[in-house]
Amino acid sequence: MFQILAESEKSFMKKKQWTLQIAGRELKVETGALAGQASGAVTVRYGDTMVLATAVMSDKVSEGMNYFPLMVDYEERYYAAGKIKGSRFIKREGRPSDEAVLTGRVVDRTIRPLFNHRMRNEVQVIITVLSIDGESDPDIVSMIAASTALSISNIPWSGPIGAVKVGMVDGELILNPVKSEEESGSGDLDLIVAGTKDSINMIEAGAKEVPEEKMLEAFEFAHDAVKKIATFIEDIQKEVGKEKVEVELLEGTPEFEKEIRDLAFAAGLEKALYQADKKEVKKASKVITEKINAHIEEKYPENEKRFKAIAELVFEDASDEVVHSHVLEKGVRPDGRKMEEIRDVWCEVGILPRTHGTGLFNRGETQVMTVATLGSPGDEQIIDTMEVDTKKRYIHHYNFPPYSVGEVRFMRGPGRREIGHGALAEKALIPVLPSKDEFPYTILLVSEVLACNGSSSMGSTCGSTLALLDAGVPIKRPVSGIAMGIVIDQKKPENYRILSDIQGLEDHYGDMDFKATGSEKGITAVQMDVKVAGVTTEMLKKILSQSREGRMHILEKMKETIAAPRENMSPYAPRIIIIKINPDKIRDVIGPGGKVINEIIDETGVQIDIEDDGRVFVTSPDETSALKAQEWIENLTREVKAGETFSARVTKIMNFGAFAEVLPGQEGLIHISELSEKRVEKVEDMVKVGDIVSVKVKEIDRQGRINLSMKDAKKE
C-alpha cells in the first residue's frame, strides 16, 4: 500500500520547466510541482520574484446570474519579502492593500475579454506572491502566470496573453525596468501593456507629460515583447495543456432568440436607445423588457426563470447590434453627437464655504465635485505593503454613491471600482504637483460623483484640477481627462469608428474604454479596457490623436472658470513655515524625551514635523502662533557669533565670573573683569542668579566656549 501511494505521489510531482529571455533576464515557468488539484497551476519566476497562479472552474452553472462570474484574487504574502507585519496581538494578514486590489484589477481587465460572455460557470483565478526581490514587479509576473494557468487548464478561454512593463531611462524606452533602473533614470513613464499576438487589450500608464507620439512608440515597443511571451505560453499549452471542456452556455434555441430579438425591435428598441436623456433611455428600455418578460410568462411558464435570463442576453446583444450598426453605417451616436463632439462642459469653483478648495465639473449628465484639504507634513499617509514602506503626501479618494445613477443599494465602503478610479485620477495629477520644498502641505482630494452618465473618473480628474487651483496649490499646469470609445465591425475589423467623450450607453455597448489624462505638454495617465480581443497600434494612433483634441477642448472650458492657482489660500487652511536647521541640532529641538518640542507645541498650539535632513515644518491655524514657534526654534538652533548682543539670563555665579544663557541651551562666561568698567570685588555685587542682563559676545574660542562682556554691551 505504501509503495502504491509513493508511486502515485511521484507521478503527481512530475515537474516541467520552460524558460524565456525577456529584457536580459530569465522568465521561468514551472508546472507539476504545486497545487495539483487545480484545473491549471503554474509558478512563474522572474529574477527572484515568484508567484503561484491557479485557475479553477465550477462544475455547475450558476443560476440567476446576469454576468460571467469571474473572480480574480491577488494574494500578498509578507513572507515573500521576509517581513512580519501586524499589531502586537494580531499577526494574520488581513484585508488586501490598495496596491493588491489594483494588481488584481489589472489581471481581471486583461483576461476577462477572452471569455465567452455567455458562460455561467464560476471561474476563479488566485495569484499568490511567494517571493519578491524588490526589483522585478510582481504585477507583470502575475499577469503572465494567470495567462499560463488558464491556457494549460481545461477552462474554455481564448488566450494566451503576454504582459510587459515599459519605462523610460534618459529618454530611451526600456523593457521591464528594475527598480534601480527606474530610480537612475528620469522616471518619465510607468507603462503596463498586455495583449494577444494580434492586438493590445489592456493598458495602464502613468507618465510625466509624455507626448502622444512617444506614447504610441511605447505601445508598439511593448507589443513586440507581448507577442513573444504569448507565443511562449502557446507552446507550453501545446505541450502540457489539457483539452478544453465544453460548458453549457446561457443560450436558447435559434428560434427562441430570434423571437425575442424580433419582439424587442418591434417594441421600439432603436428609438429607446437613441435618446439624449439617460433617464428616458432607461425608462424606454424597461418598457421593452417588461413586454418581453410578459411574453415569456405567458408562452414559456414551465422554465420562466431561465428563459428570462436568456432573453436578457438577447436584449443586450440586440442593443449592441443597434449601436454598432448606427455608428458604423450611419455615423450616428445614441445622443445625436458627431464622433469627435464633446458634451456640454461647465465648471464652478469655491462652492463650499469652509473647505480649502472645491471644484465642480459637469460634462453632459456626469457631475463630479472634488474637495481639496490641506494638512501638515505629519498628515502624510504611511504606506506599509509587502513591496514598500513609504509615505504619501498626495492622496485621492473617489466615492460613487448609488444616487449618482438613480439606484438604491447598500453602502459598504470603497470597492475595487472605487479604488481603481481613485488611483487613476490620483495618477493623473502627480506629475504636475509641486515638490514638498515648494509646497510642504499634505494634499487630500475627495471626489464625490453626484451624477453619472459615463466617464466619472475623468470627471474626477478635471474636478481635482479645479479644486487644486481653487485651494492655491501651485501646480505646474492644469490637467484634463477624456474617455474614448471605439465601435468595430467584427466581420470587417478594418471598419471602425472612434468616439470622443463616451457616455454610459456607449461604454456599455462599445468595444473599448480608453481614458487619457494630460496637460498641454503631454499625457499623464492612460487606462484602457476592451470588450473584444483587442485593438491594433494603428487604432491606438488615431485614438491618441483624437483624444488630445478632446482634452484640449475640455481644458479650455476649465480655464474659463479658473486658469491659475489662487494667490491667497483659504483663511481656513493651515499655514506652514519651513525652517532649515543643522541636522546636528535636531536633538536640541526635540529635547530629552521630547520635553522641548512638546513645550513649544503646548505653548503655541502649532504642529511640528522634523525631517532627518534638518527641515522643520511648523503648521499652525494662524500666522502669529507659527511665527512665535519659529522664533523659539531658531533661538534653540542658531549658533552664536562674535559681536552679537543678547539679553541673557544669569544661571550660575562663580568666584571668577558669572555664566549666562544667551540662547536656549547655549551659555557663555562673563568674566569678572567684563562685568563693569570699574573694578569688581565680588561677582554677587553686580549680578545674581536669574537676573536678565545685556551682554555682547566678545569671542568664541577654539574649544567653542562663548566669552561674554557686560561692559562692552553697555557701551553700545
pLDDT at 184: 54
What are the backbone angles phi and psi of residue 106, rounded to the nearest 5°? -60, -45
Quote the DSSP letter at residue 80.
G
pLDDT at 8: 42
pLDDT at 584: 86
What are the backbone angles phi and psi of residue 669, rounded to the nearest 5°? -100, 130
DSSP class per residue in 301-320:
GGGHHHHHHHHHHHHHHHHH
Query: Tens digit of pLDDT for each residue in 159-197?
Result: 999 999 999 987 899 999 987 766 555 578 999 999 999
CA gap 666, 89 in Å, rounded: 45
Beta strands in 143-274 (DSSP E): 162-169, 172-175, 189-195, 200-210
pLDDT at 13: 56
666-671 and 657-663 strand pairing: antiparallel
Residues 496/520, Cβ–Cβ less than 8 Å: no
Residues of the chain with pLDDT under 50: 1-12
pLDDT at 539: 97
25-31 and 40-46 strand pairing: antiparallel
pLDDT at 10: 47
pLDDT at 387: 75
* 216 closest CA partner among 231, 227, 205, 228: 205
Q: Which residues are 670's β-sheet partners?
A: 658, 708
Q: Which residues are 166's β-sheet partners?
A: 175, 191
Grid cell digits, residue 117 = 460572455
> 333-346 burial string, b = 16+ CB within 10 Å, else e?
bbbebeeeebbebe
pLDDT at 23: 93
pLDDT at 620: 92
366-375 and 357-363 strand pairing: antiparallel
Could you identify the residue written with the cell 502557446?
234
* 629 closest CA partner among 620, 638, 641: 620
